[in-house]
Structure 1
Amino acid sequence: MASTVHFLDGARRIVAKELRIAYRLNLHNVWVAALPPLLLAAASWVVDPPDRPGPTLMTVVIWSYLFVYIFDAANQAAGIEEDRINKPQRPAPMGLVDAHGLRTRCAVGSVLFVSIGFAASVWTGTISAVWVATIVFVHMFMPASMYFAWKPLSNLSGAVTQLIGGWAIVGPLNTTAVTWALTLSIMVVIAMPIEDVRDVDGDIAAGRRSYPMMFGASSVSRTFAVLMAVWPFVGWALILRTVELTTCEFCTLAIVFTLSYSAGLSALNTRSMPSQKRAYILYSLVHVALTALPLATVIT
């Protein structure tokens, strides 16, 4: 009896520790990184409803979360020095886990992620494996001084994996779905340097070279503001492709416009770091709203 109680108490402590680490690991990324594949999966669901909705929904949710878990574990294992300055609330700076522990969790999560992907569909499994290989290569072999080059490529790979994989879990891929996924992925990556404006001090400590360091934070912020002025029209032209909008399409596009212009205006306040941080948060919401456009398109 005593041994059983001891075992259960130990298991409870392990679970509590892992939940605390996962919470700190994904605190600021889980909603923006997990929602886009769920939205594409929802669009796929509307186009071709699955035969087993319950298991399919559970698969999409777990697979989407594992993506976030792996990405954050790999990224934070390689960026502890930066996080000590920019994000001290993360698990490594708090002393909850070290780089080896994060890499171990990344490896375990990767096995589960790829396995679930292949169990769902060949497309999802294949693209999951390619993305995991990309993450491993980037963090093991790419120098910090080339951060400005490999970060966009890594993020592009991740965005494509999320969107195509999320769709393919629910139903078969088609040309339209792939076009949507590529369009949305390229859009999110092009404007992503706004994220690095807030992280310059930590990136310097980590030996990274980012676009704000190379061209100036103000230039990056102003370029971002221009992109935000254009992005709603790009989404309209490349995804909705019509001036005769349904109510759902109109409302979703209105949200994209509101968030985009709010993000752009916030970024124009180049002397305020809180405004730059707000611009990135709003931009994360812009990406989520843009990813909702395909769903709005297929809803009749």
Structure 2
Amino acid sequence: MTSAAPPSSRSPARGLIPTGRNVVRLVLREPWLSWQFIKNDPWGGLYPGVVFTLAVAVAVHHQPPGRLAVTAVVSTVYFWLHLYTFCLTNQLAGLREDRLNKPFRPLVKKSVTARGAVVRTAVAFTLFPLVGWAAGVWQWALLWEAMTLLHNLGGSRNWIVKNAVIGFGVLPMLGAAWQMTGPLTPDAWRWMLTLALVVLLLISVQDLRDLRGDATTHRRTFPLAFGEAFSRRFLAAGFALLPLATHFLLVRAATPAAWCAEAATAALCWATARRVVERRGPAYDHRTYRLFEYWYTAVLATAFLTL
């Protein structure tokens, strides 16, 4: 009578060899997990870059459909990593604030451990410039990584550094988006510098939703440095005047379609200006900031009509 082999003689070897199902689960889980890190910010760091890349590819370089499809895929991968590298380091450094301001984030929910996030950060920081190299924009990728570390490893605690990094962070985003399809031109720099200045001046709208958490953790944002009332008046004035800057420096509408696009972006500006003076709580301020992100993507989309 033969006896079955003891479990100890079989299970270690079996445990060391991943099954096909486990490999598939792992491959599918990583995109899902990376989305959990970036899902609160794609309108600020993913969609705008892809939209501007495609606008330049269509309006400036008239890429044929096949090449345009490749450009879309490369741009999506690049800007996914662009946002993912930022969100990983930001959420690792800001875990304490996120417990108060953003309890839905994966580190707070324990969807991933801090050690796991550190490993993913190392991988993402390596992949991002490699993808940038393949796309011909590795310099912009490295610049963005440097700005990300400056912001997330202490710089964001002071409103001057925080706003400057986010504002001038427009340059590596839009510079890479344009350069993926061809060399930079004076029009490229006009769009890049104008939007960098706009974001620099108005990005503090995002801080209105996090006043309690930022005050508790001694983060000195613009509203905490200058007072909530003044900040709201300043931002409301900025958003009210923004359509003028959009018209004279960016869109320069000259066709019915461009005028309609410009009217739509102006409506977003004025809606944001009205909302920003109303104190209805963090959730309301969060939706107000979302309007600014929608405006940013929408104004980049007008490049399809005006470049």
TM-score, structure 1 normalization: 0.89
Which residue is 2:233 aligned to? 222
Amino acid of the residue matched to residue 280 of structure 1? Y
The number of aligned residues is 291
- 1:120–1:169 Cα contact (<8 Å) kept: yes
Larger Rg, first or second structure (1 or 2): 2
Q: Is residue 278 of structure 2 the alignment partner of residue 269 of structure 1?
A: yes
2-side partners of 1:130 and 1:6: how far apart? 38
SS at match of 2:203: coil
Measured against aligned partners, the alpha-carbon deviations of 1:156-202 in whole angstroms (never above 9, x if no partner) come to 24221111101111122111112111111221221011111111222
1-side partners of 2:149 and 2:284: how far apart? 33
Q: How far is 1:261 from its partner?
A: 0.8
Q: Is residue 112 of structure 2 the alignment partner of residue 93 of structure 1?
A: no
Aligned match of 1:134 in 126, 147, 155? 147
Aligned match of 1:285 in 288, 291, 294? 294
After TM superposition, where is structure 1 displaced by more than 6 Å over at least 4 residues in a row? 2-5
Which residue is 1:233 aligned to? 244
Q: Is residue 219 of structure 2 the alignment partner of residue 208 of structure 1?
A: yes
Which residue is 1:171 aligned to? 182
Identity of aligned residues (%): 26
1-side partners of 2:259 and 2:107: how far apart? 44
Which residue is 1:181 aligned to? 192
2-side partners of 1:173 and 1:143: how far apart? 30
- 1:37–1:166 Cα contact (<8 Å) kept: yes
SS at match of 1:28: coil
| Structure-2 change in CA distance of 1:100 and 1:182 (3 Å) | farther
- 1:180–1:294 Cα contact (<8 Å) kept: no
Q: Is residue 41 of structure 2 the alignment partner of residue 29 of structure 1?
A: yes
- 1:24–1:89 Cα contact (<8 Å) kept: no
Aligned match of 1:118 in 133, 151, 161? 133
1-side partners of 2:208 and 2:77: how far apart? 32
- Which consecutive unaligned segments of at least 5 residues does structure 1 have? none
Amino acid of the residue matched to residue 64 of structure 1? F
- 1:50–1:56 Cα contact (<8 Å) kept: no
TM-score, structure 2 normalization: 0.87
Bigger CA drift: 226-235 or 33-42?
33-42
Q: How far is 1:37 from its partner?
A: 1.5
Q: Is residue 261 of structure 2 the alignment partner of residue 252 of structure 1?
A: yes
- 1:22–1:69 Cα contact (<8 Å) kept: yes
Which residue is 1:75 aligned to? 90
2-side partners of 1:249 and 1:290: how far apart? 11
- Which consecutive unaligned segments of at least 5 residues does structure 2 have? 1-13
